[in-house]
Chains A and B, each alone.
Chain A
């Protein structure tokens, strides 16, 4: 029985299935937040997650990965963030309903009341710190910090993984070259985070939980955090084995698994497969379609959106802020786009100029 379950999970597990399923669940969550955070649904999800985890623990391979000392925090992270995402959304839904009925939000009823920091706030801080201290000590007693063989530059483990909080970036290396996955995207994530308050400036949504009035912003953030970051961390940690091959959660890591590499560049698709004339010699002719496509991707959507769907946003933000916002969003979306292009067409690079280490 359990074996059927495990084999089934392994069989359907692949990056495209997991990514698409997670995105679908995410879409349901933000489309129906009221139902999704209701008691029966959230209980069902919690029980489902615990059941999956519990069943998984009967599997030796799953257990060995989940309980690898440095992986334990990720398991904690999934449950902690799952809980707090639910919690924040629940509060937002309740506030939205109150506003609909013309009542003040929960925070509004208390905002003009002041309490003394001592003892009120100090007490909360003290209890939180104490609870954390207890958890940390227990964690430290029951789980020893890992120490492997002494460092040896001549023996590289397979797979070699970065610390877990960077595994989202390492997972992106499957789809992008290091200069994008390791340098450009992290830089844009940092700059993009910094840019948030300069783009979303309306202070009326500040200081209380809400969803309706800030839907686009919150959905973007949650999508970035959960799907583009955390999901990739999970895949990179739990589901990537030797040679960075993909393995199901209950599939033993086989170092000899052979995965055929069939990836092709856009230029090869166009000039060899579709036109049948062979690759042009000069790189700028060879890569012209890819460069054109990339330029169009970055230039056309902002122009069209400013006149259609985002007309109001454009008016509110002005050209500079608007352009920065759309650019950041497009860069964010380029990750799933590239992922799906890979899965659908085995596309390797849209622009490939190895002459300059410039591959997109």
Chain B
């Protein structure tokens, strides 16, 4: 019995040429091998090989930054799937969402995307809260905190621009209320303080057809122009900015000496 070689599926897989070509490293447990499995994998390689024990604890970081990143990835995936079904025009937008809900059995892609967006706001706030409570924004990490703040703003703008896309009453009026504030931007909004001063003789430079709200909405109210702009901001412009800033954020964590620890 014991001299018969055991059938070990795990071993067959991990020693196959296919597996080795993908992962380069077999799954063995020596220290060197574990280090190599980080260094030879582009995704794991976001991490250093070794980290401070205090900083690797769940109780220290709550994994909130890592979770924000993971939530973002799930949003990218579900978002791409939604894009297959959705056309950002006034005729189609609402009906496309309706069709998604009625024609896809067990479809939860829209839910995954919407609740994921809410969750990301919470995880990012939570991450910022953790970084604050451990004083991890202090030098040399001050600039990474600033990048974080920009990521925070972009996360909320992502959520905000996405809110319009279903093109229902909830969407349209939430965006109307939100964007109305832009009317009051000092100098740049047509109801903002100082805007009246920007005039050439009798010609007002800043009016409802030329202020920041108009630029944001592509029109005087939330209409077809706004839908297209928000769609592009939501699906292309802001995600691109987020990805770039996240890369900088992660790179800076390592350049600043890894997860912070006490002196």
Contact = CB atoms under 8 A, between A and B. Distances in A.
Interface in A116-139: 116-122, 124-125, 128-129, 132-133, 136-137, 139
A66 B223 CA distance: 30
Contact of B134 (A143, A170, A208): A208
A88 B114 CA distance: 29
A97 B138 CA distance: 23
A162 B174 contact: yes
Contacts of A153: 172, 221-223
Interface stretch (B3-11, B14-22, B65-73, B234-242): B65-73
Contact of A140 (B37, B50, B108, B136): B108
Interface residues of B, number: 100
B168 A81 contact: no
Interface string B142-174: 100110010011001001100100111111111
A210 B35 CA distance: 33
B152 to A, nearest CB: 8
A189 B47 CA distance: 32
Interface in B99-157: 101, 108, 110-112, 114-116, 118-119, 121-122, 125-126, 129-130, 132-142, 145-146, 149, 152-153, 156
A136 B111 CA distance: 9
Contacts of A117: 38, 44, 47-51, 56
A203 B180 contact: no
Given A107-B60, A196-B137, A182 B181 contact: yes
Contacts of B59: 91
A196 B148 CA distance: 12
A308 interface: no
A125 to B, nearest CB: 5
Interface string A155-172: 111001111011001100
A116 B30 CA distance: 11
A223 interface: no
Contacts of B48: 117
B177 interface: yes
A214 interface: yes
A357 interface: yes
B66 A84 contact: no
B106 to A, nearest CB: 9
Given A111-B52, A114-B51, A151-B94, A206 B135 contact: yes
